Amino acid sequence: MSTFDQILTLVKRSCTHSDCTIDENATPKAIRIDKRDLIPVMQDLLTDPIAYFDMLSCISGVDNGPDAGTMEVVYNLYSIPFDHHLMIKVTIPRDNGEVESVCSIWRTANWHEREIFDLFGINFLNHPDLRRILLPSDWQGHPLRKDYKHQDYYRNVKVEY
Amino acid sequence: MPTEGVQYRFKEGDLLKSAPNKFNVADLRAEEMIINLGPQHPSTHGVLRLEVLLDGEIVKEVMPHIGYLHRCFEKHAENLPYNQVIPFVDRLDYVASMNNEHAYAMGVERMLGIEHQIPKRVEYVRVLVAELNRIASHFIAIGTYGMDIGAFTPFFWLMRDREHILRLLEWASGARLLYNYIWIGGLFYDIPVGFEERCREFVQYITPKLQELETVLIENKIFVDRTANVGVLPLDLAINCGVTGPMLRGSGLRFDLRKVDGYSVYKELDFDVPIGEGRMGTVGDCWDRTYVRVLEIYESIKIVNQCLDKLTGELKRNRDFDPQALVPKKIRPRAQDFYVRAEIPKGELGFFFRSDGKSDVAFRCKCRSCSFVNLSVLPEIAKGILLADLIAIIGSIDVVMGEVDR
């Protein structure tokens, strides 16, 4: 049994709400899980001796656009001792999207999640310090959404250059 | 309201609205105060603003405020074809542009599935220029770090020596800092005639200078006193915080993506990965991080020498070699999600791509920048230290704000 299958079994075991699916079109291999299972799955991926994903390389937000009506949060995990890669994907609705924060598992998540909150408007529950990080806090809108229109004036300064 | 020639009218409270303080004056206890450091301050290496909660001279908490240099890289990358993003990639870590380009070009090539067709000479030239740029970047890191804590001379020495590298790269690409030299599928130009010889001269010139640098800065009593046992970053915290690059190696883990992933031609090259051993204090202190950078310069020189041997030996320049031969006319990867990572001087630079397979513009391009993640560890290690040590810690993290804010 390959390592990915072992990890998949592990993820399946922690998924209680709905079954996880494999996303073949991704490098490294990706598993799509239900957002309610995120915390138990991530906790297992960090602590289980066969997985031991001790490094969270990257968290990316993806907006699928107003037609699809969904957004995704993609977690890239890496295990330093075993040299494994894994991608975990969570799909959330586009309006008032919410997902649990993984700050309690990896501290890296803190700023990554703040950035996604800033640029996509995804709300991370139980995040210790959820504020805008790159944009000024009185900026309107979330620029990386596909239907974003910038404001005309920011403090009497024309935004369009 | 029309601007009438006035760009911006200051109003009381504007600053607090756009960049509010994390700490509140009303919550301060006796003897505590809030000090604002930056954004315009030479020791913050760019436009980094730190809000420091002080008790006398002891730092109780630090909160970095970033975003002063935000240039919407990810938005641009969603609106431009893959090949036109490369100049923007240059501007991420603007003191090591070649390394950024290398990572980005490699990612797109892997998405297209052409990474095994790239000619060996192209790969060796890429590694050569990337390593030269890595040396230049470490020169800046060490030089400005010395200046942060009071040693002025090494800064001038290193800037002088860095200039030689910049001249070399300017000769190859036409630009001093932002090169647009490594293209997807190839290079802009082959390296100019005589480049290899000049590189060899540079390597001969620089090796004794590094010895000088070690004597005058790294082993200097004052420098050691200022940096040893300061800002100790334990390994478990470093990994949990996602720290990479010389910072992680300074904490004692032999982890270098050039070795681990062996991308490009790095697996054919012979070099070591130096780690911090706590020679002057504790493993993972500021001195270790700086010393790891110095040792990495030696390793980069080794790599440069081996590349030069190859480029003048079996991969010698010839008339028929066209570095742009494989550059695709239209870059349209199939629909996929892709994460690529590479080692740049500050750590792991990663790109997450999503392509929809229908256009030559990325649907989403996320940049995982190492300075951003490395900086986020600052509040963890800067607790209960002296204010002067805070400056020493910021310098040893080696942040480039262009990459933090993107």
What average pLDDT score do residues B253-262 get?
89
Residue B352 scores a pLDDT above 90: yes
CATH number of domain containing B357: 1.10.645.10
* Total-model pTM: 0.90
Flag if B253 and A80 touch (Cβ within 8 Å).
yes
Chain A residue closest in CA terms to B348: A57
Helix axes B286-312, B195-213, angle to 10 degrees: 160
Q: Which residues of B touch A134 (CB under 8 A)?
A: 66-67, 70, 405-406
pLDDT of residue A7: 83
| Residue B220 · residue B361 · CB < 8 Å | no
Q: Do B339 and A83 touch (CB under 8 A)?
A: no
Asked whether residue B238 is assigned to any structural domain, the reply reads: yes
- Domain presence at residue B381: no
Q: Is residue A153 part of a domain?
A: no
| Total number of domains constituting chain A | 1
Domain membership flag for residue A101: yes
The vertex-B370 CA angle with B388 and B272, nearest 5°, equals 95
Residue of A nearest to B371 (CA): A111
SS3 content of chain A, % helix, strand, coil (to 5): 25, 30, 45
pLDDT at B19: 66
State the residue range of the domain holding B295: 81-376
Cβ-based contacts of B337 with chain A (< 8 Å): 23, 25-27, 30, 74, 87
Q: What are phi and psi of A147, to 5 degrees?
A: -100, 25
Helix axis angle, A38-47 to A3-14, nearest 10° = 140
pLDDT of residue A5: 84
Residue B183 lies in a domain: yes
Does A91 map to a domain? yes
Instruction: Give the angle B291-B135-B297 at the CA atoms, nearest 5°.
Output: 40
pLDDT of residue B303: 92
Q: For chain B, what percent of residues have pLDDT higher than 70?
A: 95
> pLDDT averaged over chain B?
88
Total of domains in chain B: 1
Predicted local distance difference test score (pLDDT) of residue A13? 83
Instruction: Give tens-digit pLDDT for B216-243.
Output: 888 888 899 889 888 899 999 999 998 9
Cα B144 to chain centroid distance, Å, stands at 14
Q: Give domain status of residue B154, yes or no.
A: yes
Residue B356 belongs to some domain of the structure:
yes
ω into A28 cis (within 30 of 0): yes
Running DSSP on this structure, what letter comes out for residue B215?
I
Q: Is residue A24 part of a domain?
A: yes
| Residue from the list A27, A137, A157 with its beta carbon closest to the beta carbon of B8 | A157
pLDDT at B342: 92
Per-residue pLDDT for B360 more than 70?
Answer: yes
Whether B242 and A56 lie within 8 Å, measured CB to CB: yes
For residue A158, being part of any structural domain is answered with no
B7/B119: higher pLDDT: B119
The one-character DSSP state at A28 is S
Residue/partner pairs of A143-152 with CB below 8 Å, 24 or more apart: A143/A119, A143/B72, A143/B75, A144/A61, A144/A63, A144/A119, A144/A120, A144/B74, A144/B75, A144/B78, A145/A63, A145/A120, A145/A121, A146/A63, A146/A64, A146/A65, A146/A66, A147/A65, A147/A66
Amino acid B6: pLDDT: 64
Per-residue confidence band for B2, with pLDDT thresholds at 50, 70 and 90: low
Which residues sit opposite A127 in a β-bridge? none
Q: Please name the residues in contact with A100: beta carbons below 8 A apart, sequence gap of 6 or more.
A: A35, A38, A39, A124, A125, A126
Taking the Cβ of residue B249 and every Cβ of chain A, the question of whether any pair is shorter than 8 Å is answered with: no
Helix (H, G, I), strand (E, B) or coil at A31: strand
Q: Which residues from chain A sit within 8 angstroms of residue B20, using beta carbons?
A: 137
Per-residue pLDDT at B18 exceeds 80: no
Domain limits for position A118: 3-147
Q: What is the pLDDT of residue B5?
A: 65
**pLDDT, position B136:** 93
Determine, for residues B368 and A74 on separate chains, whether the beta-carbon distance falls below 8 Å.
no
Q: Which of A37, A29, A34 is nearest to A5 (CA)?
A: A29
**pLDDT given for residue B46 in this prediction:** 80
Which letter, b or e, does each residue of B216-230 get, where b requires 16 or more Cβ atoms within 10 Å of its Cβ?
ebbeeeebbebbbeb
Q: Which two tokens stand for residue B31?
A: 């003897």
Residues of chain B with pLDDT > 90: what percent?
35
Report the CATH number that the domain containing residue A125 is assigned in CATH: 3.30.460.80
For the stretch A11-69, pLDDT in tens is 888 888 888 888 888 888 889 888 888 888 888 888 888 888 889 999 999 998 888 88
Q: pLDDT at position B297, please?
A: 93
Does residue A161 belong to any structural domain of this protein? no
In a domain, B260, yes or no: yes
Give the residue from chain B lying closest to A138, CA to CA: B18
Residue A155 lies in a domain: no
